[in-house]
Amino acid sequence: QCLYQFLAFVPPSNGSLSVPGTASVMVDTQHPLTLQLNSSLGDTELCKIHYHFGEFGNYSLVVKTLNTSTKTVSCDLVINEGPINSYLPLLFAVLVYMGVLAVFIAGRLLMKIDPVRNWVYKKLNLRETDRLINTELGSPNTTDSVNCDSTPRVWSTASRQRLHSLDTFRGLSLIIMVFVNYGGGKYWFFKHESWNGLTVADLVFPWFVFIMGTSISLSLSSMMRWGSSKQKVLRKILWRSFVLILLGVIVVNPNYCLGPLSWDNLRIPGVLQRLGFTYLVVAALELLFARAESGTWEASYPALQDILPHWPQWIFILMLEATWLCLTFLLPVPGCPRGYLGPGGIGDFGNYPNCTGGAAGYIDRLLLGEKHMYQHPSSNVIYQTTMPYDPEGILGTINSIVMAFLGVQVPLFFSSCIDYINFSNFLFQGIISAILTKCSKEEGFIPINKNLWSISYVTTTSCFAFILLLLIYYLVDVKKLWSGAPFFYPGMNSILVYIGHEVFANYFPFKWKMQDSQSHAEHLTQNLTATTLWVIISYLLYRRRIFLKI
């Protein structure tokens, strides 16, 4: 539903068939395009072609007049040079990493030989590293996690060991986020969707929020287990939230080479800011309703054992979601239809050019001011929007709180055997997603939209997150078929890796001048190199037992 945009003017041939009028243009290859040829006299439509052009292909649209009296023309698309296979560099990269994986597997098999394993442990002192890490707060006991116990989670005094699956999941999300932020090899599926839809890039931030919710539950359990008072824990929650928000403001406003930063253009929202505020709300909510002992309701209704212990929190979350729905669909926005969820710009046939994000964009512009928001949203790539819009804005933070709270529910599953885990919540979320989206990208009641952080986006990504976390948990902590490497290492130092990759994004060796800026191979090499370097850095920090904690 985009307005046609002027592409080129083809000059007349002046009656000379040997020298036709020509015009050269470049077009987008991510989506199929519709080319419409209009007459310069009367601007009437002559022909229309719908085609999905290939990357770096060379095409000619040959237009011939068939009948001058009726002004009928023929339009034929000719392929002068076929498009390249832009996925070959990606395939090569996969093969390289598969080779590296094969080497590591061979090394793991060697580690099963007692003399080799003893020599490596002696040289690297790995047992001492694991001992120090496992004494940190924030994870349940691996042994407890595989016991078939349907008793709801309570604050216990048992000593517990760290679950590697949580750090592995966090590290996987973080590494994909780093790769995406560095450019993702300039592949469209490693970029955020312009508006509705879902790509790989759109999965990682909600996954990070999800696992943060899981960590909140476990860290609070640990602190309460060690006898910390609620007042002390609340002070720590407030301090962590403040530091995250402060770091976020600093990271999203880099000005290393441009002189002093003007307060007039300071961007207020951001990734770490949203994480900080989400952490504050969810952690405070869990702390407020933390129980020292379990009740009897859960024993009477085992199917609801993951909801009944948290009924006050669920009520609060449902009230928050009702607030999001009311503001999104009922708040009057000047010049825009009520409940508008579109991108504005040339979308929706250009009827609402200044309505980007509907109520979400309006609230941010009203409370934050246009100069304190993100100035280059992904919607301007296709929809040519001119209004600033912040994907980490105020209204979307409500649904990030919901996402983190869904992550809080995961530790309840760690007390049950894999075969008896209650999937009802996440199955229900999947059903909600199907209903809200009508299983389509654009036609649903509430489409999946990362910019808006729509509720369908939350329910969909939380389903994916739970399934992936369950798989990693089974492989890493239950069957111990995988150590979690290499994602485990950045997962142990997530804040340091995230801030570091943002601060040093434009510095060598994470970035360098390329010979061909249009080459997928060069972009992919640079982005994978930078991402791999952060994995290596996190591994070296792990070896030296250096962990940035807030």
* Residues marked as catalytic: 192
How many CB atoms neighbour CB 249 within 10 A? 17
349 touches 1 (CB < 8 A): yes
**Integer Cα distance of 283 and 414 in angstroms:** 19
Sign of CA dihedral 483, 489, 493, 499: negative
Secondary structure element (H or E) that encloses residue 50, with its range: strand 45-51
538 touches 492 (CB < 8 A): yes
Three-state DSSP state, 46:
strand
Alpha-helix residue ranges (DSSP H) falling in 192-270? 204-225, 230-251
Angle between helices 311-330 and 455-473 (to 10 degrees): 140
- Write the CA distances from 499 to 127, 203, 272, 542, integer angstroms: 29, 19, 9, 17
Q: Which two tokens stand for residue 527?
A: 């982005």
How many CB atoms neighbour CB 121 within 10 A? 13
How many CB atoms neighbour CB 73 within 10 A? 15
**Integer Cα distance of 351 and 190 in angstroms:** 30
- Residues in Cβ contact with 60 at an 8 Å cutoff, skipping those fewer than 6 apart: 77, 78, 80
How many CB atoms neighbour CB 406 within 10 A? 25
- Closest alpha carbon to 463 in 402, 514, 406, 503: 406
Only one residue has tokens 């191979």, namely 521
- What are the backbone angles phi and psi of residue 79, rounded to the nearest 5°? -90, 105
Three-state DSSP state, 68:
coil
- Closest alpha carbon to 182 in 449, 539, 537, 529: 529
147 touches 467 (CB < 8 A): no
**Integer Cα distance of 170 and 439 in angstroms:** 28
Length of the chain: 550
**Integer Cα distance of 465 and 204 in angstroms:** 9
Q: Please confirm whether the linkage preceding 486 is cis (ω < 30° from 0).
A: yes
514 touches 523 (CB < 8 A): yes
414 touches 360 (CB < 8 A): no
